[in-house]
Amino acid sequence: MVHSSKAINLQVWRCNVDELLKPIYSFLKCETPDEWITEATKRENLTVVLTDHLVCELKAAQSAMFLIRKYAVDKASGDALLEWLKPFETLIYKREGDWRELADKNKLTKSMIPKSNTPYGQDLIDKMVILIKEELHHFYQVLEIMDEYGIKYQSITPCRYAKGMLRNVKTFEPDALVDKLIVGAYIEARSCERFAKLAPHVDKRLGDFYISLLRSEARHYQDYLKLAQEISELDISERVELLGTVEAELISTPDDDFKFHSGLPASSASSVR
């Protein structure tokens, strides 16, 4: 039997995606429940999935920027970072500005100088600046898709996920920073896993977009994890294990608030019982 080039390309694509996701599935302690996929792919939930995805991209950029400002640069560099993010935050929090102009705003005009007393400063800056640029680009892409689908941005409340993870972060340094980086790794890995899970069940436009995000999300999780181990004086395996258990519980237990990172839909959990 002769395979068409289209079929061969599809097979190669699936192999590439599978290879990309191997370390993600090895890192996460559970997969997204099928019940969440069912809920997320309902037509009536498209608005909340895209809106929450949009907000998650901004929050990811904010979190990375917080790490740079708190741990790696002086005030002048920190102020430059805030200016970079300002148009994106203004659009979401004040509903001011034209989203179409944001593509030209995703530029950092000042080089970041690490504090002299932070040996890991430059590596943290380098990795987080790239991450911020990519997250803000994804933010713009989600706005494009929402515009195409006729979905207007409306404020939504955050789900329990990130707060539930951060509740377990240590309060003293450098352990607090290490834990925050591990939490960042789990959030990025889970996002990658969910994009891959959703892609086959949505329309081609949205599915192609989700697949296009996999490589950067996978790299982001690895960057967070590498930084955590570089900064820690001890092996981080125990903290990775603990925070991974917390993350899996948030994903697999009943959750009344359906969002992009929410847990098992409460309606599904009650119907099983």
pLDDT for 4 equals: 56
Instruction: Quote the pLDDT of residue 184.
Output: 97
pLDDT over threshold 70, residue 269: no
Query: DSSP secondary-structure letter at 255?
Result: E
Distance between CA atoms of 137 and 22, rounded to whole angstroms?
25
Band of residue 117 on the pLDDT scale cut at 50, 70, 90 = confident
Q: Do 207 and 200 form a contact (C-beta atoms < 8 A)?
A: yes
How far is the C-alpha of 192 from the C-alpha of 139, rounded, in Å? 15
Mean pLDDT lowest among 53-62, 90-99, 104-113, 189-198: 104-113
- Integer CA distances (angstroms), 263 to 201, 221, 255, in order: 19, 20, 5
Backbone phi, psi, residue 254, to 5°: -55, 140
More confident residue, 6 or 167: 167
CA distance 128 to 73: 12
Chain segment 17-26, per-residue pLDDT in tens: 888 899 999 9
Percentage of the chain surpassing pLDDT 90?
80
Backbone φ, ψ for residue 106 (5° rounding) = -85, 65
**pLDDT of amino acid 8:** 44
What is the dihedral angle through the alpha carbons of 201, 206, 208, 213, rounded to the nearest 10 degrees? -100
Tokens of 10: 């599809």
The C-alpha atoms of residue 196 and residue 149 are separated, in whole angstroms, by 21
Short-list 193, 169, 181, CA closest to 246: 169
Residue type, 61: A
pTM given for the model: 0.91
pLDDT at 268: 66
